[in-house]
């Protein structure tokens, strides 16, 4: 009984397997490839043939309507062999009429429309062969802009046609407009207007933005073609020679933004394309304690000028460059002429060329005279007495060259010796003279023999309002 059951079960299982094999194809069996038609047909794209040409996001009109013979014609129907209906350039041009201008894109010139466009369909607008934001143009134009630090916005986003015509144009490099109009169409802030157009950088005036900027990408900020210093030196060759040959170079020329620390690159209402008038331009850096390359301290001039209202004429007039070279020179502290840096120095008139650009040399050359200076005892010229000796006192021994709290820029104290001991002057003024008692001698008094006293009003410190008005005529005060 049991054996009979298992025999019947085995027969049933065999019958089921046979029936399954007859009715169900094997899972590994391949779908047979459709044979090529051996006669002409108007059904080119089917599930079995050319299915990949349909269903793209952007379709060429004839392909979308399956009007294949608009572009293709049979060469041999029995072999299902085709050829283009006409030469490619003419074929595309029969429908797509383009105005060929003087500058023609190379693929267009060679009739290679399909170098950029897929003739059937694409997932990209204008049935382009690749994403224009991810390398279509770079398939031919091999520059790898992605390796640059600073990339122009249209380049970074693949919007090449924002600046370039894809087929033909009137401008070099297939630009859509003249370079000047093209750049200022986006960068309107670089167009000089009104008062700001008083002084315009030559490349801006000539509309030659590319003289300084790379249109695509650069390793420099603002896509400059080179570092600011190198770029400026490429045109300002004489200044570059001065800087290269000088012993003392202004830090602003070589550090940070270099030339653009002080100069506007496009336009300014000030001469020399200065960003701001002096001393405000200088105070953009000298508003804090600084050091020279050899570690020597530089004064915080913002504090000095704020706390000392009796300011030297060039500072009041906004003319720091009356005494200092703005770029480079061979003199201590970038001075424009000789001036002794020491407390003591033998007297030589040529050592004071800087001072006597404004002040009269007779202040130190004439031993006596009542009309020379108010720093005299009777008719004895005390300037002459201090300076004209082997161990003469230089101007800086008594005067602060930038600003002071005292009339005639007299110092409260002066740095003395290598350690910079502050030697107090203890200067006091009287109606007909004054006195001082520094560490170098006892109390000394002088009396002119008159009662003129100090000027009732001395010029005040320079302010922003002073900077914004026309510079007054230079005034020289004789002490």
**pLDDT tier for residue 156 given thresholds of 50, 70 and 90:** confident
Nearest to 479 by CA among 454, 451, 460: 454
Q: Which residue has the tokens 């065999």?
A: 14
**Does residue 419 have a pLDDT over 80?**
no
Strand partners, 291: 297
SS3 (DSSP) at 62 = helix
Distances in Å between the Cα of 194 and the Cα atoms of 181, 188, 198, 209, 268 are: 19, 14, 8, 20, 10
| Predicted pLDDT of residue 32 | 55
Residue ranges covered by each domain of the chain: 51-176, 278-479
Q: Which residue has the tokens 């109606």?
A: 431
Q: Which residue has the tokens 């003199």?
A: 331
Q: How far apart are CA 171 and CA 108, in angstroms?
A: 16
Nearest to 254 by CA among 275, 285, 225: 285
| Predicted pLDDT of residue 135 | 74
Q: Using CB atoms within 10 A of its CB, is residue 206 exposed (0-12), middle (13-18) or buried (19+)? A: exposed
Q: Which residue has the tokens 């490349």?
A: 203
CB neighbours of 27 closer than 8 A, spacing ≥ 6? none
| Predicted pLDDT of residue 80 | 80
Please state which of the ranges 355-369, 377-391, 441-455 shows the lowest mean pLDDT. 441-455
**pLDDT tier for residue 461 given thresholds of 50, 70 and 90:** very low
CB neighbours of 410 closer than 8 A, spacing ≥ 6? 398, 399, 400, 404, 425, 427
**Does residue 134 have a pLDDT over 80?**
no
Across 134-138, 229-233, 406-410, which has the greatest mean pLDDT? 229-233
Helix axes 228-235, 237-245, angle to 10 degrees: 120
| DSSP code of residue 395 | G
Please state which of the ranges 124-138, 206-220, 313-327, 334-348 shows the lowest mean pLDDT. 124-138
**Does residue 140 have a pLDDT over 50?**
yes
Q: How far apart are CA 380 and CA 395, in angstroms?
A: 18
Mean pLDDT, to the nearest integer, of 208-233?
94
| Predicted pLDDT of residue 358 | 92
The whole-model pTM stands at: 0.73
| Predicted pLDDT of residue 209 | 94
Of 369 and 33, the structure prediction assigns the larger pLDDT to 369
Q: Which residue has the tokens 């009109």?
A: 61
Mean pLDDT, to the nearest integer, of 458-466?
46
């Amino acid at each position: 009984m049991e054996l009979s059951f298992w025999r019947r079960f085995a027969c049933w299982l065999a019958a089921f397997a046979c029936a399954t094999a007859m009715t169900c194809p094997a899972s590994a069996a391949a779908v047979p490839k459709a044979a090529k038609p051996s006669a002409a047909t108007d059904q080119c794209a089917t599930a079995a043939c050319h299915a990949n040409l349909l269903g793209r996001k952007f379709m060429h009109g004839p392909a979308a309507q399956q009007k294949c013979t608009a572009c293709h014609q049979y060469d041999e129907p029995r072999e299902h062999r085709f050829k283009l209906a006409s030469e490619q350039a003419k074929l595309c041009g029969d429908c797509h009429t383009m105005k060929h201008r003087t500058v023609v894109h190379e693929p267009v010139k060679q009739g290679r429309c399909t170098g950029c466009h897929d003739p059937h369909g694409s997932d990209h607008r204008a049935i382009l062969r690749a994403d224009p934001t991810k390398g279509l143009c770079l398939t031919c134009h091999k520059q790898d802009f992605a390796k640059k630090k600073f990339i122009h916005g249209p380049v970074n986003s693949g919007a090449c046609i924002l600046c370039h015509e894809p087929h033909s144009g009137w401008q070099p490099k297939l630009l859509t407009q003249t370079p000047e109009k093209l750049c200022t169409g986006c960068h309107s802030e670089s167009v000089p207007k009104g008062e700001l157009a008083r002084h315009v950088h030559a490349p801006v005036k000539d509309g030659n933005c590319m003289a300084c900027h790379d249109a695509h990408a650069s390793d420099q900020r603002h896509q400059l073609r080179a570092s600011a210093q190198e770029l400026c030196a490429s045109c300002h060759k004489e200044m570059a020679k001065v800087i290269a040959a000088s012993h003392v170079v202004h830090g602003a020329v070589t550090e940070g933004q270099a030339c653009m620390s002080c100069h506007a690159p496009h336009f300014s209402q000030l001469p020399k394309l200065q960003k701001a008038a002096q001393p405000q331009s200088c105070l953009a850096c000298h508003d804090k304690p600084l050091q020279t390359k050899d570690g020597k301290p530089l004064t915080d001039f913002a504090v000095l000028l704020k706390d000392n209202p009796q300011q030297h004429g060039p500072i009041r007039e906004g003319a720091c460059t009356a005494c200092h070279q703005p770029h480079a020179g061979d003199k201590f502290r970038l001075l424009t002429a000789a001036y002794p840096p020491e407390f003591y120095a033998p007297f030589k008139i040529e050592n004071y060329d800087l001072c006597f650009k404004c002040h009269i040399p007779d202040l130190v050359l004439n031993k006596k005279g009542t009309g020379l200076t108010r720093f005299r005892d009777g008719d004895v010229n005390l300037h002459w007495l201090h300076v004209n000796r082997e161990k003469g006192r230089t101007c800086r021994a008594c005067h602060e060259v930038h600003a002071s709290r005292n009339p005639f820029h007299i110092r409260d104290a002066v740095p003395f010796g290598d350690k910079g001991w502050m030697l107090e002057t203890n200067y006091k003024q009287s109606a007909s003279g004054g006195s001082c008692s520094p560490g170098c001698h006892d109390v000394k008094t002088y009396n002119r023999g008159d009662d003129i006293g100090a000027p009732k009003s001395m010029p005040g410190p320079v302010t922003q309002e002073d900077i914004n008005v026309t510079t007054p005529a230079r005034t020289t005060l004789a002490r």
